[in-house]
Amino acid sequence: MSNFGGLILTNKGRALQAKVQAGAVLHFNRIAIGDGNLGSTTISSLNALVSEKKSLAITKLKTQGVDKAIVGGVLSNSAIVTGFYFREIGVFAQDPTDGEILYCYANAGAGAEYIPAGGGPDIIEKNIDVITLTANAASITATIASGIYASVVDFTTHQTATTLDHPDSSVITAKIAPKAVTAAKIADNTIGAGQMAAGAATDTVIGNRTIDDTVVAAAGADTPTRLWSKIGYVLKTLMGTANWWTLPSLTITAIITALGLKAPLASPALTGIPTAPTAAAATSTTQLGTTAHTQAAIDAKYTTADVLTKLKTVDGSGSGLDADLLDGSQGTEYVRNNYGYWAGNNANTAITEGTYNFQSGSTNTPNGDWCTLHVFSAVGSASDRVIQIANVWNLSNDIYVRRLNSATWSAWTKMWTDENSPASLAANGYQKLASGIIIQGGTANVASGAFIPLNITLTTRIVSVTVTPRNSSMPATGVANSGGITNFQVFHGLGATAIDMHWMAIGY
């Protein structure tokens, strides 16, 4: 509520007071509220609100002592379209000469209360009482809003009075509608033996009543007819019949006898051949299992392929079967360590299983240069039995091997591979050995003194050549110029006649 402090009479109000003291009637028209600021304006000079927002009908007029009166109204925001700050209030009265005047006024200034527009979540409805001076007026009247006769306080005072102030015989039968005075309006024991003759509530007075057994039973007080209807609904529901007056097919005694013949739910001792519904094949619950369900499960047992598929999905120590174990060791134990570029660049210190890289200037590697070492060691004797395999990067990917035995390293030995020992299996073919020796051979049809070309050119010289005639009856042959690198010369006893020859040459 806005903080006004008290209302002050205007000049017009003081003039009206003088007329009232001379015998005029003091008549209040209305109360008005607004949101105006006084600024430099004085209250005594006002004859209207600075910014009136709503006019309130007078709902209450009550004298207080000999020189004051309470003028009241009701403020509601139901019809307010735009909210405003309730900053000013004034009471308007009727002057016999000047007509309606602003009788008294107050302004809350910064202590104004905001009144929101209606239709929203905030509903405002409050009584406003204004206490104003009346100057010992002999007659005070007001224009009271139609349909409003008492304030909430007045009505409560009337309602809680020990004795109601209705004049005797003022509430007569003609003023009370039929059945208007219900049980809810009569306090307990208000109508007792002293007010109602014995036997007055007869069947004739009560009249016939019809039970409606569709009225659902619920707790709480109700009329006699509805209470009887609820009892009928309960009876119909308990008996499972169409209505409350139809008897059930079994009595309670018969039902109790039948239940006594049933097996208990806990550990029933069944006799005969008890049956039950057969569950679907894939059912895995706590429901009763029949022999038919068990047989169907056996018929649908796993095949060998099914078992293998299941085994492939089993893993983890908690399962009892670890599919990732090999000879009792985790698969991670078979993953080789990768040590990257080895600190110190010395191959003799790389004795733990794994892979090592060496850079240019390395020691105890096959070439003292870039290479990769793969190290294998006997379990439990890593420093005693070690094998190193080296892939030399800058020597045509040659592969070398050596071993550590009883703290002694063997020399590096080049391994024979398809890369450093290529071969041709053609009729005129060759075989390169890891040592650099090349063995080659084939057949040729040549006259005596002709040259037979080598299948692959040597880098240094021919070491040995063997030539034999294809036919054993042919004359002996010989070889000359066998020190070449591309061919050799052959001689036989048939001169210019060409004969088939088998040959084999060894060189490097």
The pLDDT tens digits of the residues spanning 76-106 come to: 999 999 999 999 999 999 999 999 999 999 9
300 vs 426, more confident: 426
- Least reliable range by pLDDT among 83-92, 320-329, 367-376: 320-329
Measured CA to CA, the distance from residue 450 to residue 489 in angstroms comes to 6
Closest CA to 439 of 404, 463, 475, 472: 463
Q: Which long-range contacts (CB under 8 A, 24 or more apart) does 466-471 make?
A: 466/503, 466/504, 466/505, 467/501, 467/502, 467/503, 468/501, 468/502, 468/503, 469/499, 469/500, 469/501, 469/502, 470/443, 470/499, 470/500, 470/501, 470/502, 471/499, 471/500
The pLDDT tens digits of the residues spanning 427-475 come to: 999 999 878 899 999 999 999 999 999 999 999 999 999 998 888 777 7
Backbone angles phi, psi at 142, to 5 degrees: -155, 155
Which pLDDT value is given to residue 147?
46
Which pLDDT value is given to residue 484?
84
CB under 8 Å to 319, separation ≥6 — which residues?
none
Please state the rounded mean pLDDT for residues 247-256.
Answer: 90
pLDDT confidence tier of residue 149, bands split at 50, 70 and 90: very low
Coil/strand/helix, residue 7: coil
- Least reliable range by pLDDT among 57-71, 140-154, 437-451: 140-154
- Which CATH architecture is the domain 423-507 placed in? Sandwich (2.60)
Q: Two tokens at 415? A: 């391994």
Count other C-beta atoms under 10 Å from residue 88's C-beta: 27
Which pLDDT value is given to residue 7?
92
Q: What is the pTM of this model?
A: 0.34
Measured CA to CA, the distance from residue 155 to residue 60 in angstroms comes to 12
Share of the chain above pLDDT 90, in %: 52
Please state the rounded mean pLDDT for residues 160-177.
Answer: 58
Q: At CA 158, angle to CA 156 and CA 160, rounded to 5? A: 65
Q: Is the pLDDT of residue 327 over 50?
A: yes
- Least reliable range by pLDDT among 163-172, 197-206, 237-246, 372-381: 163-172
Which pLDDT value is given to residue 141?
79
Which pLDDT value is given to residue 245?
93
Mean pLDDT for the chain?
Answer: 84
